[in-house]
Each structure stands twice: as C-alpha cells, then as structure tokens.
Amino acid sequence: MTGIQEPRPAQPTRWHVVTGGPSSGKTTTVNLLRGRGYTTTIEHARHYIDLQRITGRSTAE
C-alpha cells in the first residue's frame, strides 16, 4: 500500500487567462495586449467555429 503523497508545488508560468461573459471585452483586451507586444494565442473555440462556417457547416452540425 502506498502512502498519500504531498502535491507538488505549482510551476510558475507567465500565462494569464482572460475570461468573462459575452461582450465583456475579452477579445478587445487581448487585441490591445497583442498591440502592445505581448504574446497571445487565438481563442480556440472561436477559431473552430470560424473554420466550420468557412466549410459551410453550421454550429448545430
């Protein structure tokens, strides 16, 4: 039987998550940060939906 191990301390990162409700300014905030030279990444859910629309599929499919 193995004993319970202490959790490892969190690894420090320079990541920040921008979250909030619809129309709360998330995209605007990220675009402003990108404009000031910060490294940002795409919003993956939005990117996926945009790709589906390009191929003629709806979000319901």
Half-sphere exposure of 39 (CA within 13 A, CB side): 2
Give the angle subtended at the CA of 46 by the CAs of 41 and 52, to the nearest 5°.
Answer: 125
4 belongs to a structural domain: no
41 belongs to a structural domain: yes
47 belongs to a structural domain: yes
- 27 in Cβ contact with 20 (< 8 Å): no
- 34 in Cβ contact with 24 (< 8 Å): no
User: Mean pLDDT for the chain?
Assistant: 88
The total domain count for the chain is 1
45 belongs to a structural domain: yes
Residue-wise pLDDT tens digits, 30-57 = 999 999 999 999 888 888 888 888 988 8
- 43 in Cβ contact with 37 (< 8 Å): no
CA distance 21 to 3: 42
18 belongs to a structural domain: no
pTM of the predicted structure, to 2 decimals: 0.60
1 belongs to a structural domain: no
Residue 1 has pLDDT above 70, yes or no: no
Residue 61: domain span: 25-61
